[in-house]
């Protein structure tokens, strides 16, 4: 061979190869987002995303390492190689997709509203909240925040670093509503029946997907084929039942 002159243009670096070399898949998420990623009493991460990440790592023959990261900084953290993939219930949005690549969606959700109990009956949809007198809590950097800005622009928006802080404000009646992904809100409302009410019909369409750095076709190809396999062979359904139907 005559070397460099005829060498193919160098391929984009593959996260997949780096993971196999390292023997560790580093997964970025933001714990506290039930039932996808939570910290249990023993301090261990559990949830739908956690189990999926373990399955992926097992199939790759590597260990898994979780990197807990604040949501509003999670894309910059991926882009600066703090971990290999975001498996944290990230909604595929056109804006995020300008900065990262997404695998095929692994679940579809939407935003719903949890109201402080007194408002049950008078507020029936997001449109009813479109008034400066209503205070709406969201988690910083989420599609819940984007939904309020776009669809409920007149309401008073309050941003919180963690979903737990936002949640408490509604339970205490200091804010009127909390807007977040349906699965989270369903658990939130069922655990606080005396204090809040869930308007459980989603008002946005949100496919959730794993995010990786751009230009990495090898990793994307592996992930999409893996997702098709587990959706077809029953293992995805078993996991779904464990976290969403029990």
Q: List the interface residues with ligand ARG, window 224-243 (CB under 6 A).
A: none
Report the SS3 class of residue 124. Answer: coil
**Window 96-135: contact mask with ligand ARG (x via CB under 6 A):** ----------------------------------------
The C-alpha atoms of residue 29 and residue 35 are separated, in whole angstroms, by 13
Q: If binding is defined by CB under 6 A, does position 15 make contact with ligand ARG?
A: no
**Window 197-216: contact mask with ligand ARG (x via CB under 6 A):** ---------x-x--------
Beta strand 24-29 with 196-199 is unpaired
**Cβ atoms of 187 and 198 closer than 8 Å:** no
The C-alpha atoms of residue 60 and residue 129 are separated, in whole angstroms, by 47
Beta strand 38-39 with 45-46 is antiparallel
Window of 28-36, 54-62, 165-173, 190-198 that interacts with ligand ARG by CB under 6 A: 28-36
Nearest distance from residue 149's CB to ligand ARG, in Å?
13
Contact pick of 51, 84, 169, 181 for ligand ARG (by CB under 6 A): 181
Q: Is the dihedral of CA 200, 158, 243, 202 positive or negative?
A: positive
For residues 90 and 175, which CB has a smaller minimum distance to ligand ARG in the complex? 90
Contact pick of 15, 34, 91, 204 for ligand ARG (by CB under 6 A): 91
Q: List the interface residues with ligand ARG, window 62-81 (CB under 6 A).
A: 71
The C-alpha atoms of residue 202 and residue 67 are separated, in whole angstroms, by 30
Whether residue 35 has a cis bond before it, omega within 30° of 0: yes
Element (H, E) at 212: strand 211-212
Contact pick of 28, 35, 47, 88 for ligand ARG (by CB under 6 A): 88
Nearest distance from residue 152's CB to ligand ARG, in Å?
16
Q: Is the dihedral of CA 27, 86, 152, 127 positive or negative?
A: negative
Which residues lie near ligand ARG (CB under 6 A)? 29-30, 33, 37, 71, 88-91, 142-143, 181, 206, 208
């Amino acid at each position: 061979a005559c070397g460099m002159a005829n060498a193919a243009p160098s391929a984009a670096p593959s996260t997949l190869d780096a993971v196999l070399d390292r023997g560790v898949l580093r997964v970025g998420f933001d714990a506290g987002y039930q039932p996808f990623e939570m910290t249990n009493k023993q301090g261990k991460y559990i949830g739908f995303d956690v189990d999926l990440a373990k399955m992926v790592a097992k199939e790759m023959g590597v260990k898994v390492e979780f990197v807990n990261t604040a949501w509003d900084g999670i894309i910059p953290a991926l882009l600066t190689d703090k971990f290999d993939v975001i498996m944290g219930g990230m909604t595929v949005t056109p804006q995020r997709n300008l900065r990262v690549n997404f695998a095929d969606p692994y679940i579809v959700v939407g935003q719903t509203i949890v109201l402080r109990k007194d408002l049950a009956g008078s507020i029936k949809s997001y449109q009813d909240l479109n008034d400066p007198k209503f205070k709406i809590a969201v988690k910083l950097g989420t599609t819940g925040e984007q939904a309020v800005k776009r669809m409920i622009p007149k309401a008073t928006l309050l941003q919180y670093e963690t979903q737990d802080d936002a949640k408490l404000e509604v339970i205490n009646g200091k804010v009127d509503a909390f807007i977040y992904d349906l699965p989270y809100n369903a658990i939130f409302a069922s655990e606080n029946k005396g204090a809040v009410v869930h308007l459980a019909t989603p008002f946005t369409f949100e496919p959730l997907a794993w995010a990786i750095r751009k230009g990495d076709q090898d990793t994307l190809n592996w992930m999409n084929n893996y997702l098709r396999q587990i959706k077809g062979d029953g293992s995805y359904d078993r996991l779904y039942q464990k976290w969403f139907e029990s």
